């Protein structure tokens, strides 16, 4: 299975600031997604990170609030902008697809997550 790393693993931020989360994968993957998991809740898809083009956002999420970059097939960033306490959550990088690392088609692999607390 692919090795996925996220940085930072956790952070405590002040209201109104922004945080950029990085996701690094050890193999080239076609599809990368960013999910949010609020305390005690399920996994909500924020957007699909498209390599070389603008991310595809789900209903309720916009680029101004959650800008995403995907410069290549192994790296992506998610920025949480102008944060408020409601943004306190775990943010997860998830990947799927068949890459050079031997991932199974359609199996999802979750990054370790970034636990964000906004004061």
Partner 1 sequence: GENVEQHPSTLSVQEGDSAVIKCTYSDSASNYFPWYKQELGKRPQLIIDIRSNVGEKKDQRIAVTLNKTAKHFSLHITETQPEDSAVYFCAATYSGGYQKVTFGIGTKLQVIP
Tokens of 27: 């193999």
Candidate list 7, 11, 28, 43; residue touching partner 1; CB under 8 A: 43
CB 28 within 8 A of CB 73: yes
Q: How far apart are CA 65 and CA 37, in angstroms?
A: 17
| Host H or E run for residue 56 | strand 56-57
* String marking each residue 49-88 x if it binds partner 1 according to CB under 8 A: ---------x------------------------------
Question: By C-beta, is 14 or 59 nearer to partner 1?
Answer: 59
Q: How far apart are CA 18 and CA 86, in angstroms?
A: 13
**Helices marked H in 33-92:** none
Q: Interface with partner 1 includes 41 (CB under 8 A)? A: yes
Candidate list 30, 51, 79, 88; residue touching partner 1; CB under 8 A: 30
Q: For binding to partner 1 (CB under 8 A), which residues are involved?
A: 30-31, 33, 41-43, 45, 48, 58, 92, 94, 96-97, 105-113
């Amino acid at each position: 299975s692919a090795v996925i790393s996220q940085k930072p693993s956790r952070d405590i931020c002040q209201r109104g600031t922004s945080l950029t989360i990085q996701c690094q994968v050890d193999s080239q993957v076609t599809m990368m997604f960013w999910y949010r998991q609020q305390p005690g809740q399920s996994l909500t898809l924020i957007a699909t990170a498209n390599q070389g083009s603008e991310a595809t956002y789900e209903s309720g999420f916009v680029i101004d609030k959650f800008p995403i970059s995907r410069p290549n097939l192994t790296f992506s960033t998610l920025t949480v902008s102008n944060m408020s306490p409601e943004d306190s959550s775990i943010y997860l990088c998830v990947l799927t697809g068949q890459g050079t690392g031997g991932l199974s088609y359609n199996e999802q692999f979750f990054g370790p997550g970034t636990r964000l607390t906004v004061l």
